Amino acid sequence: MQTRQLGQSDLHISPLGFGTWASGGGNWEYGWGAQDDGDTIRAIAAAAHACINWIDTAAAYGLGHAETVVGRALRELPAELRPYVFTKGSLVWDAQGRISHSLDPASLSREIDESLRRLNVNAIDLYQIHWPAFPTGAPEQSIEAAIAALDAARKAGKIRHIGVSNFDAAQLERARAVAPIASLQPPYSLLMRGIEASILPYTAAHGIGNIVYSPLQSGLLSGRMTRERIAALPANDWRAQRSPEFQEPNLTRNLALVEVLRGVGARYGRTPAEVAIAWTLRKPMVTGAIVGVRRPDQLDGLLGAADLKLSDADLAEIQAALPEGSAAPVPQSVVEA
């Protein structure tokens, strides 16, 4: 699997990254239902053997649990297979598991230390601000002070590079005035194309990489989701209640799009998931796409996205099937914690 330079950093990453949102399990506000830790560890090992060379996680996933599981997986991998570790901070929780948001420098410093401990690493390859503000409408905190705190951690050797997630162009401008920003992590999929208008051009102009999340719209575009499976999602799977793309009237049109992807993929012997991911990777400004993997066998229908080149005719067919409104800015309520 060929690699791509992440922004202007010294990190060269595979087109696919291993996502761990679901690895946090179901015992928190934005969980995906129960997850077997052994499956996660085996999936990480399988991904590493398949040349996926970076893992994206976050302190908030499972309230620290995903980072802990990643740390266990890293200990079991030989040094030559150990991937880059990317994590995120700024979402904190109380004793009852209630999530809140903080860009306070002291809080971020504590978060970095806690992530280092859970991940069992000496330095974090990429540390990202998870959200500039959370939830929607919350008073804005100082982006500048937060980035300065991360830069201090970088100079202390605790993190190697600084990234941000869910920032708009104006917020990126403020961040990069304080310290070099290696990457942005925005949502991007066939159903969430809001970054195309201004975010991608801005990052291209300023040498900032993009590692996009939810390229499969939380699994909806994988080709494995049926009405029956969606209806049976457990109550502790956030998609069952919070994602409008899994509800009507959106669900019918989204499943119709999946059938178009299935037809395109059939021409190449690829899955709908591989077509959907390849569609995001077609943009030169997109450095990599984060794919969530819960079991090793799920990699089989994803890895082919890395080298799948869609033709102009393929892209036109997909474009004709896209729902109206998918290029609009993405409401915070439909994306991850």
Q: Hey, which residues are catalytic here?
A: 61
Q: For residue 7, which of 250, 242, 179, 248 has the smallest C-alpha distance?
A: 179
Tokens of 283: 């943009």
Q: What number of other Cβ atoms are within 10 A of residue 85's Cβ? A: 24
Q: For residue 216, which of 9, 49, 21, 6 has the smallest C-alpha distance?
A: 21
324-to-144, 189, 223 alpha-carbon distances in Å: 36, 14, 21
Please enumerate in sequence order all residues whose Cβ is within 8 A of that of 296, keeping only pairs 6 or more positions apart, or say none. 39, 42, 43, 45, 46
CA distance 309 to 257: 19
- Contact between 239 and 216 under an 8 Å Cβ cutoff? The reply is no
DSSP assignment string, 223-236: S---HHHHHT--TT
Helix (H) or strand (E) holding 19: strand 16-19
